[in-house]
């Protein structure tokens, strides 16, 4: 069926599209709270080599198994998210390792991997993202949700340049063909959230691009930044310090995802971001030997708790992230607590108060408005205070 479909298709019309309303949960607290992404959005992942871009998208794919449990308890229905990963110009061994990890984590049944690795002809590398988009559109056009990951479009542009140099087309800026912007824009515009009349299907795109020396001003990155709805910028120094995900929370932005964010997450994310920014700024002063006031020292310690929430090696459940972010905002946990201690608190919470959590953290309550939301906030704060002070 896929072979009979055209690789190049027009992007959906404006009339067929709808607002981005439903979040795509990544499982990472710092992303879901500060720079969230919604179904139907195009979010760029950008960073130097070795900053964990491919590892991040792998964890996002793995988290869809957990996120689907939250949205659809039976694991069925239209809330299911199908994933398509296309490797463009990567080492073949890296692609095999990626596929092996998917199988190991039992994520291969809802994930398709398209091989456009460096071992393949450059024509196949060039066509592979269009094949991935066409394959993903089958889910979108049938009222389902699809996530397509292009890893990465910098190497895709190189493959297109190689093809054009062979047929002696004139080179443009930085030796790239002049229509590379149009090609990437046409590809990424196929991501969309359909309206009710067209079946509510969605296609979310996460293009990846590699840069050198944290330079965002080169031709391909600037093109993709202007095409997409936001970017996750991964910093090299954060990665070297062992901070994961190595997200620059000041340069990263999501222009649409906030609209799809749940009311509760939106409420707690402001304090979380302020604590992180305070920590980053005061830590710079301390590294230069500048003395800080007692108030700044207190903000620094609150930021340490937020940093402990930020740094996570694998995705967590949405409920876990809600509880941990709230606990750090209330200074109920700190950075010095071991992971085992945090996990034990969560296990205690679920075992003893699962009936309470299922009520206050259900999808229905997360989207309450006005007075109901205020009552919900007070209920959760009281609940957290009780759990963490009476353990």
CA dihedral sign, ordered 287, 289, 290, 293? positive
State residue 76's pLDDT score.
45
At residue 375, the pLDDT reads 55
Higher-confidence position of 188 and 370:
188
Measure the CA angle with vertex 225, ends 191 and 321; round to 5°: 70
Separation in Å, CA 93 to CA 40, 100, 117, 149, 330: 31, 10, 9, 18, 45
Residue 347 has pLDDT above 90, yes or no: no
Residue 97's pLDDT is what?
A: 94
Q: In the prediction, which pLDDT does 348 show?
A: 58
For 43-55, the pLDDT digits (tens) are 999 999 989 999 9
- Top pLDDT among 252 and 347 is at 252
CA distance 373 to 378: 9
| Per-residue pLDDT tens digits for 201-246 | 999 999 999 998 888 888 999 999 999 999 999 999 888 888 899 9
Q: What is the pLDDT of residue 293?
A: 80
Q: What is the pLDDT of residue 204?
A: 96
- pTM more than 0.75: yes
Query: What local confidence, expressed as pLDDT, does residue 69 receive?
Result: 55
Rounded to whole angstroms, how far apart are CA atoms 272 and 280?
13
Is residue 334 very low, low, confident or very high in pLDDT (cuts 50, 70, 90)?
A: low
State how far the Cα of 347 lies from the Cα of 353, in Å rounded to an integer. Answer: 10
Active site residue 255: yes
- Inter-helix orientation angle 370-389/263-287, to 10°: 60
- Taking 70 as the threshold, does the pLDDT of residue 337 lie above it? no
pLDDT in tens, 111-155: 999 999 999 988 899 999 999 999 999 999 988 899 999 998 999
Per-residue pLDDT, 54: 93
Structural domains in the chain, CATH included, are 2-261 (3.40.50.300), 264-389 (1.20.150.20)
Q: Which of 12-21, 361-370, 379-388 has the lowest mean pLDDT?
A: 361-370
Provide the b/e sequence for 294-333 (b: ≥16 CB within 10 Å).
eebeebbbbbbbbbbbbbbeebbbbbbbbbbbbbbbbebb
Q: What is the average pLDDT score of the chain?
A: 81
**What's the confidence (pLDDT) of residue 343?**
56
Region 68-89 average pLDDT: 69
Residue 369: CB atoms within 10 A of its CB come to: 8
Which residue in 17, 66, 186, 255 is the catalytic one? Answer: 255
User: What per-residue confidence (pLDDT) applies to 339?
Assistant: 52
Residue 252: pLDDT band with limits 50, 70, 90: very high
Q: What's the maximum distance between 2 C-alpha atoms anywhere in the chain?
A: 74
CA distance linking residue 60 with residue 351, whole number of Å: 27
- For tokens 């704060």, the residue is 381
pLDDT digits (tens, 9 = 90+) for 157-183: 999 998 888 888 888 888 888 889 999
**Cα separation, 4 vs 364, whole angstroms:** 41
Helix H, strand E, coil C: the string for the chain is: CHHHCCCCCCCCCHHHECCCCCEECCCCHHHHHHCCEECCCECEEEEECCCCHHHHHHHHHHHHHHHHHHHCCCCCCCCCEEEEEEEECCCHHHHHHHHHHHHHCCCHHHEEEEEECCCCCHHHHHHHHHHHHHHHHHHHHCCCEEEEEEECHHHHHHHHHHHHHHCCCCCCHHHCCCCHHHHHHHHHCCCEEECHHHCCCEEEEEEEEEECCCCCCCHHHHHHHHHCCEEEEECHHHHHCCCCCCECCCCCEECCHHHHCCHHHHHHHHHHHHHHHHHHHHHHHHHCCCCCCHHHHHHHHHHHHHHHHHCCCCCCCHHHHHHHHHHHHCCCCCCCCCHHHHHHHHHHHHHHHHHHHHHHCCHHHHCCCHHHHHHHHHHHHHHHHHHHHCC
pLDDT at 280: 87
Task: Give me the count of residues in the chain.
Answer: 391
* Other beta carbons within 10 Å of 76: 9
């Amino acid at each position: 069926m896929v072979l009979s479909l055209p690789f190049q298709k027009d992007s959906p019309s404006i009339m067929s599209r709808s607002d981005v309303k439903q979040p795509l949960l990544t499982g990472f607290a710092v992303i879901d709270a500060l720079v969230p992404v919604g179904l139907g959005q195009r979010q760029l992942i950008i960073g130097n080599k070795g900053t964990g871009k491919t590892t991040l998208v792998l964890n996002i794919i793995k988290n869809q198994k957990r996120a689907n449990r939250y949205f659809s308890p039976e694991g069925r229905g239209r809330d299911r998210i199908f994933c398509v990963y296309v490797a463009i110009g990567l080492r073949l061994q890296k692609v095999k390792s990626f596929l092996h990890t998917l199988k190991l984590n039992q994520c291969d049944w809802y994930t398709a991997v398209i091989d456009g690795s460096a071992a393949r002809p450059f024509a196949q590398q060039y066509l592979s993202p269009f094949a991935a988009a066409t394959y993903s559109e089958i889910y979108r056009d049938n009222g389902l949700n699809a996530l397509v990951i292009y890893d990465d479009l910098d190497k895709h542009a190189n493959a297109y340049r190689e093809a054009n140099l062979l047929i002696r087309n004139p080179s443009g800026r930085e030796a790239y063909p002049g229509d590379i912007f149009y090609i990437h824009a046409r590809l990424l515009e196929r991501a969309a959230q359909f309206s009710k009349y067209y079946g509510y299907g969605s296609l979310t795109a996460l293009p990846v691009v590699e840069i050198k020396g944290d330079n965002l001003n080169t031709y391909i990155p600037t093109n993709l930044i202007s095409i997409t709805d936001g970017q996750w910028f991964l910093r090299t120094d954060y990665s070297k310090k062992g901070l994961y995900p190595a997200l620059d929370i000041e340069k990263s932005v999501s222009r649409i995802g906030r609209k799809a964010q749940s009311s509760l997450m939106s409420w707690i994310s402001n304090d979380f971001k302020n604590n992180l920014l305070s920590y980053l700024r005061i830590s710079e002063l301390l590294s230069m030997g500048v003395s800080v006031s007692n108030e700044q020292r207190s903000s620094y310690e609150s930021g340490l708790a937020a940093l402990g929430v930020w740094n996570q090696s694998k995705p967590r459940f949405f409920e876990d992230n809600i509880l941990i972010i709230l606990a750090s905002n209330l200074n109920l946990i700190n950075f010095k607590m071991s992971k085992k201690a945090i996990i034990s608190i969560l296990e205690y919470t679920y075992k003893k108060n699962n009936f309470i959590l299922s009520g206050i953290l259900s999808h229905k309550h997360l989207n309450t408005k006005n007075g109901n939301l205020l009552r919900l906030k007070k209920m959760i704060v009281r609940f957290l205070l009780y759990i963490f002070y009476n353990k």
